[in-house]
Homo-oligomer: A and B are copies of this chain.
Amino acid sequence: MTSKVHKNRRRFLQQAALGSVLATGAMSLPIVSRSESSEFPDSLPEWMREPGGDFSNYGQPSTHEQQVIRWISANPDAPGNGVSWTPLHDLQGTITPNGLHYERHHNGVPKIDPNKHILLIDGLVEQPLQFSVESLMRYPMESRICFIECGGNSNSGWRSTPIQAKAGYAHGLVSNTEWTGVPVKLLLEEAGIKKQALWVIAEGADAAGLNISIPLEKLLDDALLALYQNGERIRPENGYPMRLVLPGWEGVLNVKWLRQLRLVEEPIMSRDETAQYTELQTDGSARQFTFINEAKSLITSPSLGMMLPDSPGIYQISGLAWSGRGKISRVEISTDGGESWTDAELHGPILDKAFTRFSLAWHWQGEYAVLQSRATDETGYVQPTREALVSQRGRYGFFHYNAIVSWEITEEGDINHVYGL
């Protein structure tokens, strides 16, 4: 072992001359963490000596992965009001498994009988229509893989000191799955849209009766009345038996447990578009109807809660980027707190308004480092620094925080959340 470590260190020092960040072609990278031996370390492992467990009708994660969970932050006085976070730091690829899709509930998860649930389309329509779940199953369906992100995701970033939480537990009110359902446009056009209609009030069948105003134009564009998530029926906490999916628009508009779409001339000015999901501006006006989740990225590995071993080596910087305006066109990575940048590899398929995984090999030489990622989307929008975002939005910022996230690597290999520029 000793000689090999020395050999790798030699190779390592030779390559260090190329710079500390390398593109992930990776074929020539020495990876030092495996051992060299042609013998298995032990006799036949115990699990090969007796028949394994049974088949299952519906599978579950390994008991060794029980720490991979949604972290729940609910109001102790109203336990159905809160959020649970997708553990992005524990995941890989781009799909969020259904059991780990983030939750945001205002008054808990309703236990809806799908045989009794009705969707009503009314208001400024030629003919109000009601749909049972069964009837909706007869309609043409479409699928799309897209992210849904809560408008309040990452809002700890507005605090004056950086929160020391794992990547997913500070930024994981965003998840990415395949949604399948009926284009909302089909249903609205079947009801017949009156000329005066400009907005649609969507209401959920939870105890909060959450309602919110959505521009009709978005519902006629790419909105889905989703019935399925990653192939199976939507789960209760994600809107069973049906929800709105508005690709790229903030989570609260993607109304779960949808029971009504009412076409109207003007927004309803409900609680969740006035008291909540808005921001008071210094001039006394409100920043309101901020529908779109702007481009954002996050390094999920290495990130807080992990540790680099007490020796230099090669690490794969890996993370996620997404934009509510379209496809991700570029992600750059800095290891020196934004002084210099290198393009990361984007892993395909790069889909519209969906997670894109990026990666870059990094030679860590034991030095202090600050890792950052910066996303650009196909409109040319570039993810801002925290300084720029705070300067633009001021001290009343609370929603739609999408600034560059900085992970500090100490010389000991510890990882902390810091505020970069």
> A283 in the interface, Cβ–Cβ < 8 Å?
no
Segment among A232-240, A244-252, A369-377, A386-394 that sits at the interface with chain B:
A232-240
Contact A349–B349 (Cβ < 8 Å): yes
> A19 in the interface, Cβ–Cβ < 8 Å?
no
Segment among A60-68, A148-156, A274-282, A287-295 that sits at the interface with chain B:
A60-68
**Using Cβ atoms and an 8 Å threshold, which residues of chain B touch A271?**
none
Query: In the bound complex, what is the Cα–Cα distance between A82 and B101 (angstroms)?
Result: 32
**Using Cβ atoms and an 8 Å threshold, which residues of chain B touch A232?**
61, 65, 68, 90-91, 97, 99-100
Chain B proximity of A225: nearest CB distance (Å): 12
Within 8 Å by CB of A94, from B62, B231, B359, lies: B231
Contact A231–B52 (Cβ < 8 Å): no
| Binary contact readout A277-321 vs B (1 if CB under 8 angstroms, 0 otherwise) | 000000000000000000000000000000000000111101000
Contact A52–B140 (Cβ < 8 Å): no
**Using Cβ atoms and an 8 Å threshold, which residues of chain B touch A79?**
51, 54-55
Contact B53–A231 (Cβ < 8 Å): no
Chain B proximity of A203: nearest CB distance (Å): 10
Contact A116–B45 (Cβ < 8 Å): yes
**Using Cβ atoms and an 8 Å threshold, which residues of chain B touch A61?**
58, 98, 232-233, 235
**Using Cβ atoms and an 8 Å threshold, which residues of chain B touch A50?**
207
> A110 in the interface, Cβ–Cβ < 8 Å?
yes
> A69 in the interface, Cβ–Cβ < 8 Å?
yes
Contact B140–A361 (Cβ < 8 Å): yes
Contact A92–B228 (Cβ < 8 Å): yes
With A51-B107, A349-B349 as known contacts, state yes or no: A139 contacts B93, CB within 8 Å.
Answer: no
> A134 in the interface, Cβ–Cβ < 8 Å?
yes
Query: In the bound complex, what is the Cα–Cα distance between A195 and B64 (angstroms)?
Result: 40
Contact A93–B207 (Cβ < 8 Å): no
**Using Cβ atoms and an 8 Å threshold, which residues of chain B touch A209?**
48
**Using Cβ atoms and an 8 Å threshold, which residues of chain B touch A313?**
138
Write 21 A-B pairs (CB below 8 A) sorted by A numbering: A33-B132, A33-B138, A34-B130, A35-B129, A36-B130, A37-B129, A45-B112, A47-B112, A47-B206, A48-B205, A52-B107, A52-B109, A57-B70, A59-B235, A62-B240, A92-B227, A94-B231, A138-B313, A138-B315, A141-B318, A141-B359
A sample of 19 more A-B contacts (CB under 8 A), given A27-B189, A61-B98, is A33-B134, A34-B131, A36-B128, A42-B116, A47-B113, A47-B207, A51-B80, A52-B111, A53-B110, A58-B61, A58-B69, A92-B228, A92-B231, A93-B230, A94-B178, A95-B145, A95-B231, A138-B315, A138-B316
User: 9 smallest A-B Cβ distances: which pairs?
Assistant: A52-B108, A38-B128, A57-B69, A47-B110, A93-B180, A33-B135, A93-B143, A92-B228, A53-B109
